[in-house]
């Protein structure tokens, strides 16, 4: 039986790098994969999954209206897929996560989803919440806080490095906008 996997972490933990390595492993063995990335992530070239260490691969972009199940079923009919990999999975809608589960259960293709668990306020993203509920396997990818403890939180900062506690849930950015911290340092930053 194919499984739905959710690999989650704070910012800068290597989620995209892990996804690209998994994709490489499948393709190296002659197996076809299908990669998805969020259309709203405009940090790199459109339709590209890129890691901070320089790895990249083309991907199908998804937004709130994308029928992932249809995309996969159509592609699978012409090119037998061995795995579906989703980057920026926190931006999936709950309905899209349900589609990914059906891809596993009805089509028999494993799905590996990689994303943030929580936003800059410490609240779950809707896609991540649904993945936490439905995934067959949950794996935390570790990142490190400035103090050396495990980073689990994503602090949003302004251009001067000051912590922000308000704003839209989704704001695309990298090291210029977010800092991965342990819960203690996250809370302390918001209190100052």
Among residues 119, 182, 176, the alpha carbon closest in space to that of 148 is found at 182
Helix/strand/coil for 8: strand
- The contacts of residue 183 (CB under 8 Å, 6+ apart) are 152, 153
Summarize the annotated binding site for Zn(2+) as residue ranges.
Answer: 145, 147, 182, 185
Crossing angle of the two packed helices 94-102 and 126-134, in degrees rounded to 10: 30
**C-alpha distances in angstroms, 38 versus 170, 179, 186?**
12, 21, 26
Annotated binding site for ATP: 9-16, 87-90
Q: Which of 60, 69, 125 is nearest to 100 (CA)?
A: 69
* Beta strands 153-157 and 178-181, pairing class: antiparallel
Q: Which of 88, 137, 171, 191 is catalytic?
A: 88
Indicate the annotated binding residues.
9-16, 87-90, 145, 147, 182, 185
Q: How far apart are CA 146 and CA 121, in angstroms?
A: 19
Is 191 in the active site? Answer: no
Alpha-carbon distances of 13 from 25, 70, 85, 133, 142, rounded to whole Å: 20, 31, 17, 22, 6
Q: Which residues are known to be catalytic?
A: 88
């Amino acid at each position: 039986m194919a499984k739905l996997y959710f690999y989650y972490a704070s910012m800068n933990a290597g989620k995209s790098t892990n996804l690209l390595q998994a994709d490489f492993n499948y393709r190296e063995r002659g197996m076809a994969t299908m990669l998805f990335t969020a259309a709203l992530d405009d940090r790199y070239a459109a339709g590209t999954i890129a890691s901070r260490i320089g790895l990249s691969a083309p991907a199908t972009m998804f937004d709130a209206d994308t029928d992932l199940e249809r995309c996969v079923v159509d592609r699978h009919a012409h090119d037998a897929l061995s795995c579906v990999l989703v980057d920026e999975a926190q931006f999936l809608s709950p309905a899209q996560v349900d589609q990914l589960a059906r891809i596993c259960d009805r089509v028999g293709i494993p799905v590996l989803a990689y994303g943030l668990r929580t936003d800059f306020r410490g609240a779950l993203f809707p896609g991540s919440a649904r993945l936490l509920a439905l995934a067959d396997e949950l794996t935390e990818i570790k990142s490190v806080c400035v103090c050396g403890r495990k980073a689990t939180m994503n602090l949003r900062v302004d251009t001067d490095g000051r912590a922000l506690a308000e704003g839209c849930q989704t704001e695309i950015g990298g090291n210029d906008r977010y800092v991965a911290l342990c819960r203690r340092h996250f809370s302390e930053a918001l209190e100052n």
